[in-house]
Amino acid sequence: MIQPSTFSTAAGDSTLAAVPAPLPLGELVAGPGEWEVEIGFGKGRYLLRRCREEGDRRFLGIEVAGEYHGIFVERARSQAPPNWLAIRGDALYLASAVLPAGFASALHVYFPDPWPKSRHHKRRLFDPQTVDLVLRLLRRGGRFSFATDFLDYGERVIEILAGYPGLRFERRDRPWDEGPRTNYEAKYEIEGRPILRLEGILEVDGREAPLHPLGARAVLAATWVDED
C-alpha cells in the first residue's frame, strides 16, 4: 500500500508526517461548511468546479498520481476559493489511518481503476474487505455517487454494496443532470460507451460503519501469549 506523502491547501504544501492523525481538517481548511470527498479526482475537473460553485462548502480530494495532484493544486490556487484540501496518496490507507470517520456529507468516486486481472482484484477500491473503509468517511445521511465504464466491475460493485448493512442505493438510468463530471465521462459519452452510475445514502454513522459480512470472514484476530 502506498503511503501518502503530501497534502496541499490554498496556503501551501506539507507532509502528513507533520500533522497528527486523524487529520485536523478544521485547522487546515477553516469554515463551517460541510465536507465533500472525491477519491481519484484525476485532473480535478469535477472537484475544481464544485469548489468554485460551492464556496460555502469544503472539499477534500484524494489522488495517488503525483502529476494529476499537481495539476489540480495549481489550478485550484488560481481559480477557486480556499475551500479545498488535496492529498496525494493511497485512498484506503488514508481512510483507515489518517482521515476521521463520519466527517463527510458526500463521497464521489468516478471511474476508479477496475484492476481487471483476477490477481489484482485485491487492489480495487471496492471489495468486501475494504468497502467499510471507504464508506466510513460519510456521516449518517451522507450521499454516495459512483460511475464506471467497466461494466463487469460495476456489476460487482452493485453486488458488494447490496450486501453492505446500512447503505441504501440505486442505479441511475440517465447521465448526471449537470453533464459529465470527469474528462473520461465526457469522452465516453461522445463515443456512446455505456456508463454505470450509482447513487446512495449511508443510513448509519461512518464512525459505526460495520464490516461487510463477506469481508468480516477475512478478518484475522492475533493473540499474543505472555511467556513470563
Catalytic residues: 113
Q: At what angle do helices 45-53 and 66-79 cross, to 10 degrees?
A: 20
Residues contacting 74, CB < 8 A, separation 6+: none
Say if CB 124 and CB 114 are below 8 A apart.
Answer: yes
SS3 label, residue 196? strand
Say if CB 29 and CB 8 are below 8 A apart.
Answer: no
Distance CA 76, CA 97 (A): 26
Cell 485547522 found at: 27
